[in-house]
Amino acid sequence: QTMRRRFGNVILCGFMGCGKSTAGRLLAQSLGREFVDLDTFIERKEGMSISDLFREKGEAYFRRCETEACRTLSRRSGLVLAAGGGTLLHPENTRLLRETGVIALLHTPYESIAQRLSGDHSRPLLERADKAAFMRSLYETRMPVYQSAADLTVQEAQSDAAAQKLQALLTA
């Protein structure tokens, strides 16, 4: 794990709205690494937003793009990579990303996440009438999956503090 930690990619995982992109960008900056957001990578490749991709091509198509992106990015090294909230639910993706990287879980309190997501409309999975209840049950079922995939975990509500804690763990 030391080699993967020193030279491989650092993959941030966690629930939607946990701060993967914000903390990832900050972490990349302080480690002098390149930052890649998996969703943005897919949006550029497909030439449309995640919302449009879900609407026009369906979730299954998006999930295939996600695995393809994991395959492409796992061939690179020295990246800080923000995964999507659903990326690690597919064992193939986790396997690909772990081969050349360490997986870090951003464990953000549910209350902070719910607050951030309440007025957000960029996540197609959450565009439904029972949003609040659905979000909570999704959080409960997904958290154990993230936990079992992660090499290390940071518990923090603020993205900047999370990035600092991660840096300390990674350079220890």
Residues contributing to the annotated binding site: 17-22, 39, 63, 85, 123, 142
How many residues bind ligand S3P (CB under 6 A)? The answer is 10
Which of 9, 86, 88, 106 is the binder for ligand S3P (CB under 6 A)? 86
Q: Residues 34-63 vs ligand S3P: string with x where CB under 6 A?
A: -----x----------x-------------
Tell me how far apart the alpha carbons of residues 52 and 121 are, in angstroms, rounded to a whole number: 12
Which residues touch 161 (CB under 8 Å, ≥6 apart)?
Answer: none
Please report where in the chains the tokens 């690179």 appear, as a residue.
76
Does 81 help bind ligand S3P (rule: CB under 6 A)? no
Tell me how far apart the alpha carbons of residues 26 and 35 are, in angstroms, rounded to a whole number: 9
Judge whether 108 and 156 are in contact, CB under 8 Å. Answer: yes
Nearer of residues 38 and 102 to ligand S3P, judged by Cβ: 38
- Residues near ligand S3P, by CB under 6 A: 16, 20, 39, 50, 84-86, 123-125
